[in-house]
């Protein structure tokens, strides 16, 4: 499967905002955006007026990069969100929040979404008792996510730190399990983005 393999900090600099792709590094003075608060590349420091289209594009790219989704799947998520009842932009973010790799990250089993995606692909989790290695799997209310028995002895899962878990999820780091209590609401999505800009971009 195609995925971005370049420097994660470069993406934050390109979008001009912290995407929190590197866990603790994003909160430290080592953060690339703190040291070089301009876009990467030869002309990164040149000041350019951003057009309306540019704002819409940057909003879309930011969300794509935060969740680690490529363009075609992202467009498919938008089409699905547009078909659903309600506000399209909110539906889009809720669909992305329901991805299994994001849920694993939100439950505290991984420090970044990228790490969570890798853990899921390597088959470390069971969903409702069945092995699941598809990061894009959309969780349902009542789904139970558990670290498989063979993986519980891994040093990775013995060094987990308590973290804030959104109210639509529950997590038990001692038993390495969690549950989807409800679907997420817009208030549960904490990423810094105006989803209406994405709707406007795809509505052109």
16 and 77 in a single domain? The answer is: yes
For residue 139, is pLDDT > 50?
yes
**Binning pLDDT at 50, 70 and 90, where does residue 54 land?**
confident
Q: Count structural domains, the chain.
A: 2
Q: What is the CATH number of the domain that holds 71?
A: 1.10.1050.10
Contact 148, 154 (CB under 8 A): no
User: Secondary structure of the chain: what % helix, strand, coil (to 5)?
Assistant: 45, 10, 45
Q: What letters, b where the CB count within 10 A reaches 16 and e where it falls short, cover 24-56?
A: eebeeeebbbeeeeeeeeeeeeeeeeeeeeeeb
**Domain contains 1:** no
**Domain contains 62:** yes
pLDDT digits (tens, 9 = 90+) for 55-70: 899 899 989 988 989 9
**Domain contains 188:** no
**Domain contains 54:** yes
Could you list the residue range(s) of the whole structural domain that residue 82 is in? 8-96+193-202
Tally of CB atoms within 10 A around 144: 14
> Where is pLDDT greater, at 192 or 53?
53
**Domain contains 74:** yes
**Binning pLDDT at 50, 70 and 90, where does residue 1 land?**
very low
Q: What letters, b where the CB count within 10 A reaches 16 and e where it falls short, cover 114-124?
A: bbbbebbeeeb
Mean pLDDT, all residues of the chain: 84
d(CA 52, CA 29) in angstroms, rounded, equals: 32
Q: What is the CATH number of the domain that holds 173?
A: 3.10.290.10
What pLDDT score was predicted for residue 24?
52
């Amino acid at each position: 499967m195609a995925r971005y393999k370049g420097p994660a900090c470069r993406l934050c600099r390109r979008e001009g905002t912290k995407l929190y792709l590197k866990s603790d590094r994003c909160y430290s003075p080592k953060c690339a955006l703190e040291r070089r608060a301009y876009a990467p590349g030869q002309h990164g420091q040149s000041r350019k007026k951003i057009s309306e289209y540019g704002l819409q594009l940057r909003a879309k790219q930011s969300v794509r990069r935060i969740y680690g989704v490529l363009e075609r799947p992202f467009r498919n998520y938008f089409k699905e969100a547009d078909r659903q009842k309600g506000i399209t932009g909110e539906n889009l973010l809720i669909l992305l929040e329901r991805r299994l790799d994001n849920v694993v990250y939100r439950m505290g089993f991984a420090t970044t979404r990228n790490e969570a995606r890798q853990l899921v692909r390597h088959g470390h989790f069971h969903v409702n008792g069945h092995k699941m290695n598809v990061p894009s799997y959309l969780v349902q209310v009542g789904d139970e996510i558990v670290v498989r028995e063979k993986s519980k002895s891994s040093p990775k899962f013995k060094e987990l730190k308590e973290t804030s878990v959104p109210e639509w999820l529950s997590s038990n780091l001692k038993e390495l399990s969690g549950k989807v209590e409800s679907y997420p609401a817009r208030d549960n999505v904490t990423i810094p983005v105006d989803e209406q800009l994405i709707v406007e971009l795809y509505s052109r």
